[in-house]
Amino acid sequence: MKNRTVARMLLEIAQYLEIEGANAFKVNAFRRASQIVEEMGEPVEDRLAELESIPGIGKGTAAVIREIVETGESVVLKELKEKIPDSLLPLLKIPGLGPKSIGRLYRELDISSVKELEQAIKQQKIRSLPGFGAKTEQKIREGIRQLNHKPERFPIALMLPVAEEIEDQLRKCRHIRRFSRAGSLRRFRETAKDLDFIVATDHPEQVADDLVHLPQVRNVINKGATKVSVEMDYQWPVAVDFRLVRDDEFASALHHFTGSKEHNVQMRQRAKRRGYKISEYGVENVETGELTTFETEYEFFRFFDLPLIPPEIREGKGEIERAETPGGLPQFIELSDIRGDLHMHSTWSDGGNTIRDMAEACRHRGYEYMAITDHSRSLRIAGGLSEEQLLAQKAEIDELNKEWDDFKILAGVEMDILSDGRLDFDDGVLKEMDVVIGSVHTAFKQNEDVLTKRVIGAIENNHVDFIAHPTGRLIGRRGPYALNVDAMLRAAKETDTAIELNANPNRLDLHAEHLRKAREEYGVRITVNTDAHSIPELDNMKVGIGTARRGWLTADDVINTMTLDELMRYLKRHD
DNA sequence: GCCGTTTTCGGCCCGACTGTTTTCAGTCG
């Protein structure tokens, strides 16, 4: 029984209870239990004896978990399913329609599926219900339409350029004192539902007018003195919220709308214990009613005796507790710690720019080194290099390196790990290269055993320095292949081989949870690289660093923060 | 259902917005 299955069943219990109209806190208890099981590092069946000692799990939920693990079923869930048809659950996804309304629609109009709901709307049955009206009916209709036509969340690769474009516009707006992105994009979550911006201004009405006239606005959802919601026209309609606040409210609003929800709940619980109330406007002393505001988030956290908790780790996953321990939070990696990019392509294989252009671009970014790592011979579709071409390329790199004394190009290769587990070049070639990357580009469908052996085989080769985009997933398009990540990390630790965090926003691979595991459980070295196929893609390092911070990484965990000398010693350690 | 350096009972994060209402419930973030 997988943790995911147990979590899924607990969540279903929560959803049925919610529709039934059960106590909201009881619902929340099951939802929380579901999340705890989902995020548990080890199999839940190994922890059956100590379930009640986990915060958030008590007598009730522990009994249900044990029952599910031991019998595969839950009596509670079974009984709920008999009372409430499972075809009601999809209705929970309709925006604007919540569990209370769904419960009433079912009990009073006998509606038990999206189809029946659509029919009832057509027959104008909804508006006849007390408390519902014509507008609500239309809102539900619109909600169903959205559900069918729009992905729920957009990948960060799509949202980042949109956010950057909006920020360019905001910089040009008059009457704006300062602004910041907020929400899940500020936390560098890999997908986002919408975009949030906090805007400080003394003239909210004028700014609101300017915002609804931004070029890409296609639809104004909502326009008031504190909030402007619009839909912007990109590949899909993108929902964008602007919160207009006074300058002294800016820090509190920014914290509030950056979230995550779980982080905010924990901060508010902490405030409450101390006799304060946190809102988006400031911190209120419950006894005196006095409101404290802050110039910056740093001051906000300091008010609660905490260091600044970076947005990227505000997920309610132990960051507040860790900040309080004597050691405090780690010193998280920053973009300025990166001294070079160790994975990129040139016109020699499928890249768009020459080696010289890529080098100048890297030097311009303040790097001390970079590695050219074009594809190897088997990857024909990407113009993979033969042995001879690889050595010729190395000669070109040696020539180029004479031009700078403050910068060095390392000669590398992104070598295919073939489907039968062999490597694309033999050791004689590999030992000539400064950087050797092992990558899986074929036979993604292999089973876990075969695929994991392929990757570990590459790790065990003395010349392989790191494994690129280890799980192969493409966010929103293709899931990871069946790699046993724990087994890979163990092998990487034993051989002191690094693992890549591929900074391409379509990949972000390894993802944040695996990175945190790599650091905290295995102590594996990571390398953050862009895998750039053209100069602009070198800027993806920003997203990579955001993701590294989500994974709680420090500069010491990442090999391309080393000086050139340190790095060369590290790369040579096996040769 | 969960939880307790104020509590084993009585709380459980907070506010805005919307649509339906004469004072509020539901939904959302």
Q: How far, in Å, CA of A18 to CA of A478, rounded?
A: 33
Fold that domain A3-149 belongs to in CATH: DNA polymerase; domain 1 (1.10.150)
- CB of A183 under 7 A from strand B? yes
**Nucleotide closest to A136 measured between CA and C1':** B19
- Give A383-416 pLDDT, tens digit per residue: 899 999 999 999 999 999 999 999 999 999 999 9
Q: Percent of chain A beyond pLDDT 90?
A: 67
Domain A251-324 matching CATH 3.30.300.30: the answer reads: no
**Nucleotide closest to A30 measured between CA and C1':** B1
Q: Percent of chain A beyond pLDDT 70?
A: 99
Domain ranges of chain A: 3-149, 154-245, 251-324, 335-572
- In the predicted model, what is the mean pLDDT of chain A? 92
Half-sphere exposure of A431 (CA within 13 A, CB side): 7
- Indicate the residue type of A263: H
- Give A233-256 pLDDT, tens digit per residue: 887 788 899 999 999 999 999 999
Pick from A425, A407, A406: which is nearest to A417 by CA? Answer: A425
Burial state string for A442-453 with b = 16 or more CB within 10 A and e = fewer than 16: eeeebeeeebbe
Confidence check: pLDDT of A459 > 80 = yes
Pick the CATH number of A154-245 from 3.40.50.970, 3.40.50.1000, 3.30.460.10, 3.30.565.10: 3.30.460.10
Architecture of domain A335-572: Alpha-Beta Barrel (3.20)
pLDDT confidence of residue A265: 87
Strand B nucleotides within a 7 Å radius of protein CB atoms: 1-4, 6, 11-21, 25-29
A171, A197, A257, A313, A467 from A179: Cα distances, Å = 9, 7, 13, 21, 39
Q: How far, in Å, CA of A28 to CA of A380, rounded?
A: 53
- CB of A246 under 7 A from strand B? no
**Could you tell me the sign of the dihedral formed by the alpha carbons of A31, A37, A38, A41, in that order?**
positive
Confidence check: pLDDT of A65 > 90 = yes
- CB of A26 under 7 A from strand B? yes
What SS3 string covers A183-211?
HHHHCCCCEECCEEEEEEECCHHHHHHHH
- Give A336-368 pLDDT, tens digit per residue: 999 999 999 999 999 999 999 999 999 999 999
Q: How far, in Å, CA of A83 to CA of A112, rounded?
A: 12
What phi-psi label fits residue A72: left (phi over 0), alpha (psi between -120 and 50 degrees) or beta? left
Residue A499, classed as helix, strand or coil, is strand
- Give A275-316 pLDDT, tens digit per residue: 888 988 899 888 888 899 999 999 999 999 999 999 999 998
Mean pLDDT, residues A75-102: 91
pLDDT confidence of residue A95: 83
pLDDT confidence of residue A449: 94
Return the bridge partners of A222, or none. A229
Q: Which of residues 27-86 of A touch strand B (CB under 7 A)?
A: 28-30, 33, 52, 54-62
A319, A374, A443, A481 from A417: Cα distances, Å = 38, 14, 10, 14
**A143 CA, B3 C1': Å apart:** 38
**Nucleotide closest to A134 measured between CA and C1':** B19
> If pLDDT is split at 50, 70 and 90, which confidence band does A568 have?
very high
Residue A213, classed as helix, strand or coil, is coil
- Give A194-225 pLDDT, tens digit per residue: 899 999 999 888 888 889 888 888 888 878 77
- Give A5-44 pLDDT, tens digit per residue: 999 999 999 999 999 988 889 999 999 999 889 878 788 9
